[in-house]
């Protein structure tokens, strides 16, 4: 993908793409979840309740909780079929129509003969949704599993709820293996917030869009015009000759990563601009950038195909 969106008209909007409320297994009402995210400085969220019969197949309509400074995207966490380990699939679909037809998923156990994850991901994408493979590490997902989701836009590489509750929040290995196989996928950081543990306000996306409206945000997500973060900001990424230049908030480490062991790293103090040579990554078809601040928090770019 190109990094030119950093200079496009518009603003960066902070949002969480994985959220639950009392419509499924969250403990707060949809209105209170929206209120808390706005109070914490978020510009938008996607309510992604579990689309299973146990909760009457909810696609939570949060449009009433939008205001001049905060918006919502309609979505769901999709469940159907089973992975190689026998566990039910989890997929995020953000931007679903309210009349999306659910699968045969009465609860959180796989139903033999039900719709495949491949199929429901494609249906969701064709219905206009941004589709992401949810928490691969937590799910015990194999590379073969992940390769079947051809309709995915992204991989959830950081899930704060999984990090807090079972130390399986990161899924970079799955993303990188998919990239190495030629799959052009982006990445997202999320909360997976239920508010029954401290599983909220720990990971988000920063989306560059003309306006903080559902259609503009969804278009930007699909185009890859965003980065993911735990705190640091990325202001620009420029490919200049054989180097990559990164403008960011105060950081101590900036890393360019590529295929295999290819990396280029710069350490410093209170860095706001970093220039890294791509010589060691010259044979990698893709690179991605990680920015680390003094507290150890990270920001991650989407892969850049070079």
What confidence tens digit (pLDDT) does each residue in 127-160 have? 999 999 999 999 999 999 999 999 999 999 999 9
Domain hosting residue 139, numbered range? 4-229
Res 1 pLDDT > 70? no
Which residues on neighbouring strands pair with residue 170, listed in sequence order? 158
**pLDDT tens per residue across span 45-87:** 999 999 999 999 999 999 999 999 999 999 999 999 999 999 9
Res 225 pLDDT > 70? yes
Where among 185, 202, 229 does a domain terminate? 229
pLDDT score of 2: 77
Q: What is this structure's pTM?
A: 0.97
Q: Does residue 160 share a domain with residue 71?
A: yes
Res 116 pLDDT > 80? yes
User: Domain containing 53 — which CATH number?
Assistant: 3.20.20.140
Q: Does residue 111 share a domain with residue 58?
A: yes
Rounded to the nearest integer, the mean pLDDT of the chain is: 97
Where among 180, 207, 229 does a domain terminate? 229
SS (H, E, C) the chain: CCCHHHHCCCEEEEEEEEECCCCCCCCCCHHHHHHHHHHCCCCEEEECCECCHHHCCCCCCCHHHCECCEEEEEEEEECCCECCCCCECCEEEECCCCCCCCCCCCCCCCCCCCCCHHHHHHHHHHCCCEEEECCHHHHCCCHHHHHCCCCCCEEEEEEHHHHHHHCCCECHHHHHHHHHCCCCCEEEEECCECCCCCCCCCCEEEEEECCCCHHHHHHHHHHCCEEEECCCCEEEEEEECCEEEEEEEEEEEEEEEECCCCEEEEEEEEEEEEEEECHHHCCCCEEEEEEECCCCCEEECCCEEC
User: Domain containing 270 — which CATH number?
Assistant: 2.60.40
In terms of Cβ atoms closer than 10 Å to its own Cβ (0-12, 13-18, 19+), residue 7 is exposed
Mean pLDDT, to the nearest integer, of 117-134? 98
Q: Does residue 146 share a domain with residue 285?
A: no
Res 20 pLDDT > 70? yes
Q: Does residue 67 share a domain with residue 27?
A: yes
Mean pLDDT, to the nearest integer, of 210-233? 98
Whether the Cβ atoms of residue 234 and residue 291 lie closer than 8 Å to each other: yes
Mean pLDDT, to the nearest integer, of 89-98? 98
**pLDDT tens per residue across span 255-270:** 999 999 999 999 999 9
Res 302 pLDDT > 70? yes
Domain count for the chain: 2
Q: Does residue 197 share a domain with residue 138?
A: yes
Q: Does residue 253 share a domain with residue 140?
A: no
Q: Does residue 241 share a domain with residue 224?
A: no
Q: Does residue 217 share a domain with residue 139?
A: yes
Res 296 pLDDT > 80? yes
Where among 209, 229, 249 does a domain terminate? 229
Res 35 pLDDT > 80? yes
How many Cβ atoms are within 10 Å of 116's Cβ, its own excluded?
Answer: 15
Q: Does residue 248 share a domain with residue 155?
A: no
Q: Does residue 67 share a domain with residue 42?
A: yes
Q: Does residue 72 share a domain with residue 162?
A: yes
């Amino acid at each position: 993908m190109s990094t030119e969106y950093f200079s496009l008209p518009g603003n960066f909007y902070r949002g969480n793409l994985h959220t639950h409320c009392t419509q499924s297994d969250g403990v707060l009402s949809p209105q209170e979840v929206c209120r808390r995210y706005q109070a914490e400085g978020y510009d938008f969220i996607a309510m992604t309740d579990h689309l299973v019969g146990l909760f009457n197949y909810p696609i939570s309509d949060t449009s009433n909780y939008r205001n001049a400074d905060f918006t919502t995207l309609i979505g769901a966490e999709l469940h159907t079929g089973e992975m190689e380990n026998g566990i039910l699939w989890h997929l995020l679909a953000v931007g679903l129509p309210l009349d999306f037809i659910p699968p045969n998923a009465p609860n959180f156990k796989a139903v033999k003969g039900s719709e495949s994850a491949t199929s429901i991901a494609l249906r969701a994408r064709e219905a206009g949704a941004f589709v992401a493979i949810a928490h691969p590490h937590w799910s015990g997902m194999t590379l073969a599993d992940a390769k079947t989701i051809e309709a995915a836009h992204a991989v959830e590489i950081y899930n704060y709820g999984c990090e807090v509750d079972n130390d399986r929040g990161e899924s970079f290995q799955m993303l990188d293996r998919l990239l190495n196989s030629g799959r052009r996928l982006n990445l997202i950081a999320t909360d997976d917030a239920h508010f029954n543990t401290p599983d909220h306000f720990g990971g988000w996306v920063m989306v560059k869009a003309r306006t903080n409206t559902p259609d503009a945000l969804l278009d930007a997500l699909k185009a890859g015009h965003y980065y993911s973060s735990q705190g640091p900001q990325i202001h620009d990424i420029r490919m200049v000759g054989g180097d990559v230049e990164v403008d960011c908030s105060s950081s101590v480490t900036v890393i360019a990563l590529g295929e295999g062991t290819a990396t280029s790293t710069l350490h410093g103090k209170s860095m706001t601009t970093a220039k890294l040579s791509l010589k060691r990554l010259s044979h990698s078809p893709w690179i991605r950038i990680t920015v680390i601040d003094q507290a150890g928090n990270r920001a991650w770019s989407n892969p850049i195909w070079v």
